[in-house]
Structure 1
């Protein structure tokens, strides 16, 4: 028996006009949001290899985790609100506001003189970065019907994957050869390019009404609940395992209250607002729920690999920050094409389950062999093993969004994508916390006691120890590297269990026909839509020229 949502979607598809061809206006708009995505993704992935240098320079090894967590906290908390604002004010002004926040946060981070200032700047930066990624997904849903979105979702995944690949070596190079501050300052010209492209080329419809009328429509109380809940939950996660034990009141109190508030937010959205930020229809279908769960587990695993493979390279193999980033190239080189394969395969076949199943199987196998890596493993092993996991990560980057949207009517796409982005970002916070907790606890067990004694309690041992390993005398240096390798193995084994949950979640995922129309409220403005039909050869040359703009 079909659900109400599926029936409504089917009727809407019959009545909706088919989209016009994709002309210059489309490709220019699409290119603008890809540049914005690259901007946000580069920063998120580039910080990982520079973290040891940053914490040493600012004398903040006891608060290093907040450099990543502050960004994750604010970017996660803002996601539901950014989706609601995009529905009320339109996509373009909200995207521009997010780019501005990101630029201001980047400038403040580059100028930070202590860890507290850097953490505050990363919070501002996260508001912009999270909103950029959210608005990108929403705008693509306005421009391209779900049934035709595979290629475009694949290119988006490729852009994200490309940033994941070049971000670590760029971060390492700047930290080692120039200054880690340029990791943030470099965002300023990129933000300017993204702001200009969105301003000039992104010509999409916006709802009518005065600013006062639109402000009244915003679900302020619901967003207050989710921001408070997210802040408390992320704070508890950040403290867990490093500054305080998982069973301590400092961890349990904010974590439990925060998760309770997130549940309360969902219940409030169902029962109270006339215009909820997250409608119940977005969460009520089993296939959508399986997509959200797969997204959550993928977020945990992917960020763990991006953040902690460089730790293996620097601690066990003695790599510099630059070389540890270069050693991540096998991941980047595989993620990008496999993201494209998943997107195009879904579009051509009309089925999204194969890419999801294949992705999780490859990740489980890849993590399994990665857990076998030793301190003296050959290049062939650490290259080949990470490539298997990378192929799975690449397949899932674009694949998990299709089951989320397939059962829903198009008017719920923005809310669903906002919650999708919220789940993914929240998962990344869990991923960083779980991996850092495992590594910290294992290092305390495996490192020589005399070596641990030189680091104060509450300090993140991994990032404090890496800079001094190369100066240690034998056999202590080898003992420390072996301890790191054994501890990293436990991280990957933990991720195998989480990946198994992702694979199990697919049992609730059904193949549902994807709609072939978009929401008429948004999308290209009338003039640009009317001119959308162009000659294919001209279209190719135009898109090629646009693709050259970011470079």
Structure 2
């Protein structure tokens, strides 16, 4: 029996295919069944046309079908998705090296005219004005992208169910490419920020749709392997981003940081247009009906809450102190807005963009996996940003050299992500991978705290490899774990394990089966909460992927914000202490004696003035922007003062690593709360490749008729 088109419950009749409204009565993702064990529910395919019930010895053959062989078309789709992932991942990191130059170039051209080459002294010389990235406009160059990426994810997940995967994917790639062109040709800061918003809308859609399409086409047990392949390409882009950004900025123009996406995005769009031809279960639903099902109020609440939170994160430590009202007010309002959004989605929304509370909150593993995803993503980006910062601020290496020295972390993540996917595919288990990964990530943060000015190459390279293994092993097997757990929860397990009710006509017969028969033969007295959801857009694959992708994207913002805030605060405290000692020229007491304080107290008057000058921005909470080789080498003339500042940076970075140990350790502890859910080896979605649907259509229709006859006996 074919698998691709058998996702609905009961199997769609020809009439149901012509009229989408008939298929809404029993949504395929929330079927009403009576699986006797969670394992049976998890191992069954999404057809749900027959049940696994040990009491009456009825099983489905679909549950043990071998994985579908992969055609050339399938491989072309995977390759296209991987190439598409390169777009957003490259843009996520390439901007970091070019940001000071972009700010300096556009600030020097207020009339909107292009500069000669779009660079500022080849992007290499230190300039306090360009390094101090604190203006309200400049800080929105990276943050506008993150905001747009995160804010529209629930809406796009819902739209993927309503309008299909193909067109949403193409729209996302098109928006990303368009935004890149706007940024590259920008003549004002406003144009750059506007282009980044368009880029972010496309980038968020790309990340979401790649995960959804992979979930549609690949069985759960094999899903980690293919996600690892795509994420490997994505990680290549993330790893090359800082290096390419610095290279393009120094050798050509910062505009090529954006223009480089045009050929990549164009090629990706063409490849997806040619190969990404997947089915859509409601192709004939009127456009007005689809638009009416969009969760506009929920999207508005979510957008407002997300913008408010990101405003607070953007202003904190740059424009305003973290404890100030302009930072705390939007943060509090934003989190209150998220709570209001969640309450609305789970109680009042007619077409929610979140998985139902009775499915999500009742599933401990799904909630735990979301928490582990947030923490591991946060820690991964924590390391991504602060390992290069260590090389620049402590070992005084250039941006390019710091990017090269951080390759063990970036490049090492790829193979171990694939290893994690392969191990899950072979064993069908994910919890051990989560435990090992989060454990090693915790160890890596502890090792990073040992690094100093004179640490050897072998030390920092090996420490990074430990972090790469820890971050890589779980990265491709988190989403499949959540999807598997929610699928099991969606199919339901009766509250009474003694029930021996056999599979009922509601599960194995066409839609025309009378409701009275269904209700009297299948529904346990305590399972009223498992009633089918009438909403056609409530597909758990897309909605679960949407909330997981949002969690991951949201964590990237915190993965930069939290360590940067800790670093700024630690530097501010140490800088203030050193300035105070230097100005009073008093000898430190035995309790106050530190390397920085001793050096400041014994400096000459000239060196003291130099020390005060360079430590002032650090004391004011702007250390993150000044933690560069250019500041240390070109901005500080006195060697003794330079060593003091390096010591401040070193000790502050250690504080950051100490805090990271706590976050990574929390992820490791959370994993112990997970439950292992058996992973399917068959595709469980209605959104398969069109050619596969056509080949299996005849067999499925015949199978449905056969089942109908058998059930009436």
Deviations 1:359-409 (A, max 9, x none): 011111111010111123222222121221111111121122132111122
Deviations 1:465-485 (A, max 9, x none): 523221222112222222222
Greater shift in the superposed pair: 9-18 or 65-74:
9-18
Match of residue 646, structure 2, among 478, 481, 485: 481
* Pairing 1:273–2:349 present: yes
* 2:571–2:619 Cα contact (<8 Å) kept: no
Partner of 1:416: 544
Greater shift in the superposed pair: 184-193 or 471-480:
471-480
- In structure 2, the CA distance between the partners of 1:387 and 1:475, relative to structure 1 (3 Å rule), is same
Partner of 1:407: 485
* 2:568–2:622 Cα contact (<8 Å) kept: yes
Q: How far is the alpha carbon of 1:518 from its aligned partner?
A: 3.0
- Where in structure 2 are the equivalents of 1:434-445 lying within 5 Å? 434-445=562-573
Match of residue 411, structure 2, among 330, 333, 339: 333
Q: How far is the alpha carbon of 1:145 from its aligned partner?
A: 1.3
* Pairing 1:530–2:695 present: yes
Partner of 1:109: 183
How far apart in 1 are the matches of 2:692 and 2:552? 35
- In structure 2, the CA distance between the partners of 1:302 and 1:188, relative to structure 1 (3 Å rule), is same
- In structure 2, the CA distance between the partners of 1:284 and 1:163, relative to structure 1 (3 Å rule), is farther
Partner of 1:374: 452
Partner of 1:30: 78
Partner of 1:490: 655
How far apart in 2 are the matches of 1:395 and 1:507? 16
Partner of 1:536: none
* 1:364–1:496 Cα contact (<8 Å) kept: yes
Greater shift in the superposed pair: 58-67 or 175-184:
58-67
How far apart in 2 are the matches of 1:310 and 1:477? 19
- In structure 2, the CA distance between the partners of 1:424 and 1:283, relative to structure 1 (3 Å rule), is farther
* 2:572–2:618 Cα contact (<8 Å) kept: no
How far apart in 2 are the matches of 1:316 and 1:180? 27
How far apart in 2 are the matches of 1:9 and 1:285? 13
How far apart in 2 are the matches of 1:324 and 1:293? 31
Greater shift in the superposed pair: 436-445 or 1-10:
1-10
Match of residue 316, structure 2, among 227, 237, 240: 240
How far apart in 2 are the matches of 1:136 and 1:284? 27
Q: How far is the alpha carbon of 1:265 from its aligned partner?
A: 1.6
- In structure 2, the CA distance between the partners of 1:118 and 1:488, relative to structure 1 (3 Å rule), is farther
Q: How far is the alpha carbon of 1:155 from its aligned partner?
A: 1.0
* Pairing 1:521–2:683 present: no
* 2:320–2:327 Cα contact (<8 Å) kept: yes
Q: How far is the alpha carbon of 1:178 from its aligned partner?
A: 2.3
- In structure 2, the CA distance between the partners of 1:131 and 1:291, relative to structure 1 (3 Å rule), is same
How far apart in 1 are the matches of 2:322 and 2:38? 41
How far apart in 2 are the matches of 1:72 and 1:259? 17
Deviations 1:99-122 (A, max 9, x none): 121112212222344544433322
Greater percentage in helix = 1
How far apart in 2 are the matches of 1:62 and 1:242? 5
- In structure 2, the CA distance between the partners of 1:155 and 1:134, relative to structure 1 (3 Å rule), is same
- In structure 2, the CA distance between the partners of 1:386 and 1:530, relative to structure 1 (3 Å rule), is same
- Where in structure 2 are the equivalents of 1:7-22 lying within 5 Å? 12-13=45-46, 15=48, 20-22=68-70
* Pairing 1:47–2:95 present: yes
Match of residue 472, structure 2, among 372, 387, 394: 394
* Pairing 1:346–2:420 present: no
Match of residue 62, structure 1, among 134, 145, 150: 134
- In structure 2, the CA distance between the partners of 1:401 and 1:172, relative to structure 1 (3 Å rule), is same
SS at match of 1:97: helix
* 1:49–1:325 Cα contact (<8 Å) kept: no
* 1:138–1:413 Cα contact (<8 Å) kept: yes
Q: How far is the alpha carbon of 1:65 from its aligned partner?
A: 4.2
Higher Rg: 2
* 2:568–2:618 Cα contact (<8 Å) kept: no
* Pairing 1:255–2:327 present: no
Partner of 2:631: 468
SS at match of 2:663: helix
TM-score by length of 1: 0.90
Q: How far is the alpha carbon of 1:335 from its aligned partner?
A: 0.3
Partner of 2:390: 312
SS at match of 1:102: helix
* Pairing 1:217–2:265 present: no
Deviations 1:298-355 (A, max 9, x none): 1211112222222222222222222121112111231011001100001100000011
- In structure 2, the CA distance between the partners of 1:3 and 1:500, relative to structure 1 (3 Å rule), is farther
- In structure 2, the CA distance between the partners of 1:531 and 1:376, relative to structure 1 (3 Å rule), is farther
* Structure 1, unaligned runs of 5 or more: 533-551
Q: CA RMSD in A?
A: 2.5
Match of residue 129, structure 1, among 186, 191, 203: 203
How far apart in 1 are the matches of 2:394 and 2:433? 34
Give the length in aligned residue pairs. 532
- In structure 2, the CA distance between the partners of 1:284 and 1:3, relative to structure 1 (3 Å rule), is farther
